[in-house]
Amino acid sequence: MRYSELFLPTGREVPSDAELVSHQLMIRAGMMRKLTSGIYSYLPLGYRVIRKVEQIVREEMNRAGAQEVFLPMVQPAELWQESGRWIHYGKELLRLRDRHDREYCLGPTHEEVITDLVRNEIKTYRQLPRNLYQIQTKFRDEIRPRFGVMRCREFGMKDAYSFDPDEAGAEVSYRKMFDAYNRIFTRCGLNFRPVEADSGSIGGSYSHEFMVMADSGEDAICFCNACQYAANLEKAELAKPEAELPAGSALLLEEVHTPGVQTIEEVCGYLHVRPEEVVKTLIFAADGEPVAVLIRGDREVNEVKVRNYLGCDALELASDDMIFKVTRSPRGFAGAIGIKARIIADYSLIGASAVVMGANREDYHLSHVNPGRDFKVENYADLCVIRRSDPCPRCGGKISFARGIEVGHVFKLGTKYSKAMKALYLDRNGREQTMVMGCYGIGIGRTVAAAIEQNHDADGIVWPLPLAPYPVIITPVNVNEKPLLETAEKIYLSLVEKGVDVLLDDRDERAGVKFKDADLIGIPFRVTIGPKKLSEGKVEIRYRRSGEVKTLTVSEVEAFLMERISEKCEV
RNA sequence: CGGGGCGUAGCGCAGUCCGGUAGCGCACCUGCUUUGGGAGCAGGAUGUCGCAGGUUCAAAUCCUGCCGCCCCGACCA
């Protein structure tokens, strides 16, 4: 491609509305432009990178035995009513009506459509297993689109769905996808890590997220330094503590006057106790029903764990109204004794005794509370947010924390959709069985952005070779000097001949401008053709990542570059 | 949806408090000089000042309503 003909508007200035480096650079490097909130147009350079990622994804999905399909983006409401998600999915689902007033939605994901397709066409175990995937534009009406392509409303996604006759088959399919994902992100040249994850509203029993490591990532993850355990923070388990016998403090329950003292901090200060000696009582509305969650004063409740424990759809902190209804006191004085709600407690309270707790009476707390003696807990469970001082739940080793960008997610769905939508088949014995499903997503645009977050410097993007829109740019420093341009053309044509995507910077610009642009758009190899070296029959090759420069004769260039590019070596 | 901020040339911004013919830098066009890390000089073009009402002799500026965008929070395969 000749740069002079390329639609590539680069910019020197950092766009004021872009916060993340990847967002800034994608705009500055002329990869994309915003149309409206959370919706972007991709320009030639950006689209090229997207296609590189897509191609890697395709190759590895095909290799793993999946088959590419293409499903509708506009989907009828009936399908979503059948799965239950028409109600359950909420406002992220963009709904619309056609001229006949029939209801539709824009697909945020395609479980319903694929399940419908498969149930109509697959009738026997002989046709299983199957894994179908597509690369499609999805639409999710995000409350707050931000971070450029990282969290937008319209976005490109690869989604795959596996159908197996039984749980064991589904396990195999899941494993294949897990391995394929490892290959995909490795081939993209990314530093990533699969972590155990919560399966969220998509449902299902088991899932992993693929996280690209980046401080700017939206997700917090933790991992063990000793073993392989790694998990999203919202999923990370805490080991159940050894059940100590309650010290069984003989001290009697005592009501103490604590005017205006509400937070754990205030309670500790006022009563001269440590947070570990206080019980925090949080009241949640779980699908509208009050539930009291007890946890040690120094710990935080993990709402995802609470939601999963209760098996509820909606979970939020209770309103003042509800708090008053169950405790007959205002917010800040809730406790377990006499509360009109289910009571569950975190493992951190196992063995607790003689603790401080709200009295369910305004301006009063109770001290010397003994769980078991003074109130009953429905159950103890792991409801806590993990923290640095906690041991690895698997091996007891030391854990570390990091941030990551979720670029892929694999789920074992089980029969959630196949049951609801009757995706059935006849087994060997002629018996009707429910298919077992899995679903597997990769955010294409997000992968591109994550690659930039991980690969950039002060001058711009530094593409990993496999994702580079062009692996090579040829830069004659002055196109008005015939020999420079002619040599550039010669090298350009020889590489084009070999099938290399080369960019020839044939613009009548000063060398500095060309260098800055080449760095900004992150091309891995730059062939610089200048008068001094050329008079000796030589040109320079510069590595974008290291800045290292090699001087070669013109005749050596082609072979040198072909070798680097085909090796896919890191530069 | 709650809190905060912004909307003026393609981009980044000043001007708004205190009403009086709309400015700066970059980019763009022309010419000359320059030519290995975003050139210099000279000249030039570019605006429904987010939209709609209102006040006023006069509105980018004051008032009302609306729209859009960004940040924080809540929310989120």
**Mean pLDDT for chain A?**
91
Please give the share of chain A, as a percent, with pLDDT higher than 90: 62
- pLDDT bracket for residue A201 (50, 70, 90): low
Q: Are the C-beta atoms of A411 and A74 separated by less than 8 Å?
A: no
Higher pLDDT, A406 or A199: A406
* Domain closes at, from A346, A381, A416: A381
Strand B nucleotides where any atom sits below 7 Å of a protein CB: 1, 11-13, 25-26, 34-39, 68-77
CA distances from A509 to A4, A512, A564 (A): 10, 8, 28
Nucleotide nearest to A531 (CA to C1'): B36
Report the C-alpha gap between A351 and A239 in whole angstroms: 15
A272 touches strand B (CB under 7 A): no
Same domain, A60 and A183: yes
Same domain, A412 and A499: no
Same domain, A188 and A323: no
Q: What does the pLDDT read at residue A571?
A: 47
A28 touches strand B (CB under 7 A): yes
Q: What is the CATH number of the domain that holds A516?
A: 3.40.50.800
A452 touches strand B (CB under 7 A): no
Q: Are the C-beta atoms of A112 and A421 separated by less than 8 Å?
A: yes
Estimate in Å the CA A478 to C1' B30 gap, whole number: 22
Half-sphere exposure of A521 (CA within 13 A, CB side): 32
Number of residues that this document lists for chain A = 571
Estimate in Å the CA A435 to C1' B46 gap, whole number: 64
Nucleotide nearest to A528 (CA to C1'): B36
pLDDT(A59) > 90: yes
Please give the share of chain A, as a percent, with pLDDT higher than 70: 97
Same domain, A208 and A259: no
A443 touches strand B (CB under 7 A): yes
pLDDT(A200) > 70: no
Residue A342 belongs to some domain of the structure: yes
A370 touches strand B (CB under 7 A): no
Residue range of the domain that includes A232: 17-237+401-452
SS3 A180: helix
End-to-end distance of chain A based on CA atoms, in angstroms?
22
* Domain closes at, from A327, A352, A381: A381
Both tokens assigned to A398: 């030391």
Same domain, A369 and A411: no
Q: Which helix (H) or strand (E) is A67 found in, with range? A: strand A67-68
Q: What does the pLDDT read at residue A266?
A: 85
Nucleotide nearest to A547 (CA to C1'): B37
Both tokens assigned to A305: 């764990």
Residue A440 DSSP one-character state: E
How wide is the angle at C-alpha A513 spanned by C-alphas A511 and A518, nearest 5°? Answer: 95
Could you give the number of structural domains in chain A?
A: 3
Q: What does the pLDDT read at residue A149?
A: 87
Same domain, A198 and A63: yes
Same domain, A428 and A316: no
Report the C-alpha gap between A358 and A366 in whole angstroms: 6
Q: What is the CATH number of the domain that holds A37?
A: 3.30.930.10
Both tokens assigned to A513: 């401008």
Higher pLDDT, A221 or A329: A221
Q: Are the C-beta atoms of A446 and A407 separated by less than 8 Å?
A: yes
Q: Are the C-beta atoms of A181 and A408 separated by less than 8 Å?
A: yes
Estimate in Å the CA A16 to C1' B16 gap, whole number: 21
Report the C-alpha gap between A91 and A253 in whole angstroms: 48
Q: What is the CATH number of the domain that holds A275?
A: 3.90.960.10
Report the C-alpha gap between A26 and A195 in whole angstroms: 28
Residues 6+ apart with CB under 8 A from A90: none
A185 touches strand B (CB under 7 A): no
Same domain, A277 and A218: no
Is cis: bond before A129, omega within 30 of 0?
yes
Nucleotide nearest to A407 (CA to C1'): B77
Q: What does the pLDDT read at residue A204?
A: 60
Residues 6+ apart with CB under 8 A from A339: A281, A283, A292, A326, A327, A360
SS3 A566: helix
- pLDDT bracket for residue A249 (50, 70, 90): low
